[in-house]
Chains A and B, each alone.
Chain A
Amino acid sequence: MNILPWDLSVIPQKFFLFAEAASYTLQITFFGVLLGLLIGLVVALGRLSKNRALSSLSKAYIFLIRGTPLLVQLFIVYYGLTSIVTIAPIPSAIMALAVHNGAYIAEIFRGSIQSIHYGQMEAARSLGMTHGKAMRRIVLPQAFKRAVPSLGNQLIIALKDSSLASTIAVPELMLKGRQMGSSTFMYMEMFIIVGIWYLLMTSVLTYVIHRVEEKLKVSDRD
């Protein structure tokens, strides 16, 4: 057992000490992505809008957010805004994740909305529906369905990206791993535990996304 320089038996012993930290990881990811979905939808519709100002604004948002690291955005929210308003670590992390993922999700939505054949909009309009209603009833439900695989991908990315919140003192998995490592000097063991927790969570998410995709298939031919 002692061929390796690490004491791997610590892993099962300490494993569940990380449960609370994992729940923080899940929470900031969940709320961050939920808000990100909202931002993404609004920005995607803005980007596709005929209104020039709205469309440019959305483009600028995507340009700025996609072109800068999440860590920078996180620090701007947590440290940068302090001269105006102080935001606690967890809300800061959620906000930064939402803003960051919103840009990516906007592009996912834009792509899936544009992939819906224009005949769908025409058929809806020819029944006398307004543009908004046709969007809501006909185009968006189909676009959402098409977006699910990419959204699932983004959710998993967001879960892993949430580890950056450790830098602003959110007591999530990564921070817990660093703290446990420095207090026991068993860095390898602790970060293996952290890795296993992430892997567990991404596995569950992957499974859930797969199930959602299956469920949405009802209207397709097998």
Chain B
Amino acid sequence: MTDSVKIEKIKTDEKILQIQGLNKWYGDLQVLKGIDLEVKRGEVVVIIGASGSGKSTLLRCVNFLEKSKKGKIYISGKLVKHQEKQLNKVRQELGMVFQHFNLFPHMTVAGNVMEGMVQVKGLPKVEARKKAEKLLQRVGLEDKADVYPAMLSGGQKQRVAIARALAMEPKIMLFDEPTSALDPELVGEVLAVMTKLAQEGMTMLVVTHEMWFAKEVADRVIFMDDGIILEEATPEKMFSAPENERTQAFLKQILPSQQE
């Protein structure tokens, strides 16, 4: 292990992300109805909820891939406006991991990880390559540096995607259902990398259906339903004594074994 692994999390009050009164419409359909959310430095926040509840849209709004009509988003205390120049800058501070990986198929694994460093941050290629190798080591894929993504399994692809996002040294990592497109046997390796990241103190906002991850790694769990945050609690509370009826119904459905 080349990097020092901080087991003790540094918790501060520094707010990395603040969302205030976020609303989002697709045509006449309102998918987000006034979202307020804060994520502090080092915090791991997991968003759960049924599909169509708006959780992915929320994440995409945070990365400004979707334009929200109403509401404010602050990154590190700075209000972000929908201006191209500012967005390009802000997006460097937000690492995004997509459900379908979206690796660049015409570049090698190392090329994928280097792309942002070289093209956006302007790092010399040699230096970027060294950093890419270190990052690939962190996700356990140092031997795949010169292979094209088409040769990788889904789990490996997602780990490369995580390394690619980390290469920008983001302040917060956003995960949009990172394991939903994976074969069941490949989910574990991705969650392991994410768990390690969390332990190292990375600030994370994760949309997932992996309740194990929410329970074991999250500091806070958010239940979204029909475009609003219906319930917000520690994982212990969320999974043992959810307050809202709809949260109970959702968890019952997704965790049938919890009945015993």
B88 touches A128 (CB 8 A): yes
- Minimal beta-carbon separation of B177 from chain A (angstroms): 13
Residue B120 lies at the interface, judged by CB distance under 8 Å to chain A: yes
B138-193 CB contacts (< 8 Å) to partner A: 148-151, 161, 164-165, 168
A138 touches B104 (CB 8 A): yes
Given the known inter-chain contacts A125-B65, A220-B150, A221-B150, please indicate yes or no for A130 contacting B104, CB distance below 8 A. Answer: no
- Chain B residue numbers with a CB within 8 Å of A14 are none
Q: Return the CB mask of B99-129 against A: 1 if under 8 Å, else 0.
A: 0101111110000000110011000000000
Interface of A is mostly: helix
- Chain A residue numbers with a CB within 8 Å of B8 are none
Chain B interface residue count, Cβ-Cβ cutoff 8 angstroms: 30
- Chain A residue numbers with a CB within 8 Å of B22 are none
A125 touches B91 (CB 8 A): yes
Q: Among A70-78, A115-123, A163-171, A176-184, which stretch is in contact with chain B?
A: A115-123
Residue A210 lies at the interface, judged by CB distance under 8 Å to chain B: no
Count chain B CB atoms within 10 A of each CB in A119, A125, A219, A221 and give the residue with the most.
A219
Residue B28 lies at the interface, judged by CB distance under 8 Å to chain A: no
- Minimal beta-carbon separation of A213 from chain B (angstroms): 14
B151 touches A129 (CB 8 A): no
- Chain A residue numbers with a CB within 8 Å of B148 are 218-220
- Minimal beta-carbon separation of A49 from chain B (angstroms): 15
Q: Which residue from chain A places its CB closest to the CB of B93 in the assembled complex?
A: A128
A123 touches B98 (CB 8 A): yes
A126 touches B65 (CB 8 A): yes
A83-104 CB contacts (< 8 Å) to partner B: none
Residue B96 lies at the interface, judged by CB distance under 8 Å to chain A: yes
A105-147 CB contacts (< 8 Å) to partner B: 117, 119-120, 122-131, 133, 137-138, 141-142, 145
Residue B92 lies at the interface, judged by CB distance under 8 Å to chain A: yes
Pick the residue among B96, B103, B149, B151 that contacts A126 (CB under 8 A).
B96
Q: Give the docked Cα–Cα distance between A125 and B151 (Å).
A: 24
Q: Give the docked Cα–Cα distance between A51 and B135 (Å).
A: 40
Q: Give the docked Cα–Cα distance between A93 and B104 (Å).
A: 40
B106 touches A145 (CB 8 A): yes
- Chain A residue numbers with a CB within 8 Å of B208 are none
Given the known inter-chain contacts A129-B120, A130-B84, please indicate yes or no for A123 contacting B102, CB distance below 8 A. Answer: yes
Given the known inter-chain contacts A123-B98, A126-B94, A220-B150, please indicate yes or no for A141 contacting B89, CB distance below 8 A. Answer: no
Q: Give the docked Cα–Cα distance between A119 and B98 (Å).
A: 8
A128 touches B150 (CB 8 A): no
Q: Which residue from chain A places its CB closest to the CB of B104 in the assembled complex?
A: A138
- Minimal beta-carbon separation of B116 from chain A (angstroms): 4
B102 touches A130 (CB 8 A): no
Q: Give the docked Cα–Cα distance between A132 and B119 (Å).
A: 12
Q: Please report B residues at the A interface, Cβ cutoff 8 Å.
A: 63, 65, 84, 88-89, 91-92, 94-96, 98, 100, 102-107, 115-116, 119-120, 148-151, 161, 164-165, 168
Q: A128-B91, A128-B116 are in contact. List 11 more A-B contacts (CB 8 A).
A: A119-B98, A123-B102, A125-B88, A126-B94, A127-B91, A128-B88, A130-B84, A130-B88, A138-B104, A219-B105, A219-B150
